[in-house]
Amino acid sequence: MKKIVFIIVTTFVFTTMIGYIYIKDVYANRNSYKDNLIRFHVIANSDSKADQDLKLRVRDRVIKEMTNKLESSESIGETRVIVKKSLDEIKYIAKNELMKNDSKYDVNVYFGDYDFPTKSYGNFTLPAGEYEAVRIVIGKGNGKNWWCVMFPPLCFIDINHGLTDKTTKNELENVLSEEEFDMISSAKKDNEIPIKLKFKIVEVIEKNKMRFANLLVGQN
């Protein structure tokens, strides 16, 4: 019985790993698009309705105040410079908005590399991994977050992800190579696994490598 279980588990693991290796190899050298994107991330204190409302108010205010500075940026380098010079200003804007709404929460603003799960933006999917991002953390930062793409300035065109596919496509094509653009496009061909599922497969297996290894060792 143990041998049968071992054979089944081994077959499953190796079949899964073969698919994983194939998918990962296809995309392993195509992560350069991450160097051309900056994300904007606002994290609420908690999931209470009041805290989630505050998150959106802070989001709206920061985007409104920073639009003139960022929407006309023509390169990611220019956006980085603007952001680094504006961190204190962004914090002041966020804190001021909290005070206007009678909130005593502290707020912190960071600019760096942060881990994100696989996320879709309209018809485009960004795989899990590290991304450069501006992060606003309200209070304890234990609530649901809101995010968008700061460069290219998609969230300064429409903060509610109401961008048309054409507008999003044009903005991304301006900063990504054809190969990079094709990689994150969710447009499906009839004979292909959806791009989001491909990224999810890699993400899940990466997280469970040790579990698979221990399972095989345990069966021996």
Domain-embedded: residue 191: no
Q: Cα separation of 117 and 211, whole Å?
A: 20
Q: What is the pTM of this model?
A: 0.66
pLDDT of residue 33: 61
Q: Are strands 129-138 and 38-43 parallel, antiparallel or unpaired?
A: parallel
Sheet holding 145-151, edge to edge: 107-116, 129-138, 38-43, 145-151
Q: Are residues 47 and 133 in the same domain?
A: yes
Number of domains in the chain: 2
Q: Which structural domain, as residue segments, surrounds residue 118?
A: 32-183
Task: Give the model confidence (pLDDT) of 145-177 as tens digits.
Answer: 998 888 887 776 655 444 445 655 665 655 555
Which tokens go with 150?
Answer: 């700061």
Identity of the highest mean pLDDT range in 23-32, 63-72, 75-84, 204-213:
75-84
Domain-embedded: residue 16: yes
Which tokens go with 132?
Answer: 């450069």
Q: Higher pLDDT residue, 111 or 27?
A: 111
Domain-embedded: residue 209: yes
Q: Cα separation of 26 and 44, whole Å?
A: 36
Q: Cα separation of 21 and 215, whole Å?
A: 19
Which of 35, 10, 24, 5 lies closest to 204 in space, CA to CA? 24
In a 10 Å sphere around its CB, with 0-12 CB exposed, 13-18 middle and 19+ buried, how is residue 128 labelled? middle
Least confident of 94-103, 168-177, 190-199, 210-219: 190-199
Q: Are residues 21 and 118 in the same domain?
A: no
